[in-house]
Amino acid sequence: MGGYVAFTATSTSGTATATREIISTTLIDDTLNTSSRYTGTWVYGAPGGSSVVHLGVQRQIRLNGYDGTTGTLYTSSVFSAAPLTGHKWELYYRIPAIKDVFSGRDGYREIINEALRLMTVPDVINITGVTNQTKYTLDLTTYPWLREPGHIVNVKRPTPNTNDLERIDAQEWHLIPDGEALILQLPSAYASTDTFKLEVRRPANSRLKQSGTWTDQATLAAGLTLDADEAIPSINDVVAVARELCFYELASVGPAAMTEFWEAKAQDAARSAATLKFVRQPPTEPYHPLRLSGVGDLGAFR
C-alpha cells in the first residue's frame, strides 16, 4: 500500500514547539531539499517502547515538516505533551493507521474491521430443547448477527453422552424470517433434557479478544479498537480481504489519473478474496443435509 517506516524517538525536543516534534536518528538524511519528503504522511504511536505516553495517538506531518539534518518530524497539530525518548513510532504514507479525525479518512484499523465484518468463522451454539416444541426463535440479543440463513450450516442432534459422536440432523429443517426475528423450524421436537447444536459461520467481528478476553460482541459494527486486540481469522486471510478495501480507498481519495489503476487492483484483489467472504443465501428452501455435498454447499462460501 506504500511506504512504511518504524522508528524509535532518540531524544526529546527542548524547543518551544516540542509538542509537535518527534526526533529520531533513524530519520537523519542530510540530502538537500528533503523537507517535503514526509508531507501529508501520518505518524502513529506504536506499542513496545520505553515510553507509552502517546500510545495509539496519530498526527499528520505538516507541509515541509521534516528536517533531515536532525531527523525531526513536525506534526500539523500538537500532542498533549512533548514526545519522549524511547517512544516507538510508525510512519504511514498512503493510508493512515487509524481514522484521520480531520479528513475523516479511514485508516488500516477501520479497513481491517470492515474486512472482519465481511468474513465468517466457524462456531457452535448450544440450544436447550423444549419438550414438544419444533420452532425456536433464535436469540438475536446474544447473537445479533444471526439474521441470515447462510449463517447456519447444520443442526446437530443431541448426544446422550459427552463423548458420543455428534451427528447432523438427517431430516429437513429450515429458517422462517418473521419481521425482525428468525425462527428455526425443526422436523421433530427434542426433549427438555436435550441440548442440540447449531453449527454456524459467524461474522469474524462478532467475537473478539479485547483486554485479554474473548467476548461475543453485542453490536453488528463491533471491531478492533486497540493494537493488542485480536480476531479469529488468520492474518493472511484478513489481509487478502482488506487489500481490496484498501485499493478502493485509494481510488476514492487519490488523484483522478490514478482512479482506474487502483480500481483495477481492487477488482483483482476481490477475485482473489472471493471465497473468504460471506455469501447471502435465500431462506426459501428447507435444508436437507443428505442432498448436499462439497464445500460449495455450506451456505457461507462459494
Whether pLDDT at 125 is above 50:
yes
> Is residue 238 assigned to a domain?
no
94 is a domain residue: yes
pLDDT number for residue 174: 84
Q: In this structure, is residue 10 part of a structural domain?
A: yes
Q: Is residue 31 domain-resident? A: yes
Domain count, the chain: 1
pLDDT at 166: 66
pLDDT digits (tens, 9 = 90+) for 93-118: 999 999 999 899 999 999 999 999 99
Burial of 295 (0-12, 13-18, 19+ CB in 10 A): exposed
Domain membership of residue 35 as a residue range:
4-99
Identify the pLDDT of residue 31: 83
Reply yes or no on whether the pLDDT at 285 is more than 90: no
Residue with more model confidence, 54 or 169? 54
* Residue 51: predicted pLDDT: 83
* Residue 74 belongs to a domain: yes
Does the residue 167 lie in any domain? Answer: no
Q: How many CB atoms lie within 10 A of CB 300?
A: 23
Least confident piece of the model among 52-56, 146-150, 279-283: 279-283
Compute the distance between CA of residue 258 and CA of residue 251 in angstroms, rounded to an integer.
7
The sign of the CA dihedral 158, 159, 163, 167 is negative
What CA–CA distance (Å, rounded) separates 210 from 224? 8
**Per-residue pLDDT reduced to its tens digit, 155-189:** 888 877 666 666 666 567 888 888 888 899 988 88
Is there a domain that residue 297 lies in? no
93, three cell numbers: 504514507
Output the CA angle 276-280-285, nearest 5 degrees: 130
Is the pLDDT reported for residue 282 higher than 80? no
Residue 197 domain flag: no
The CA distance from 36 to 251, in Å, is 23
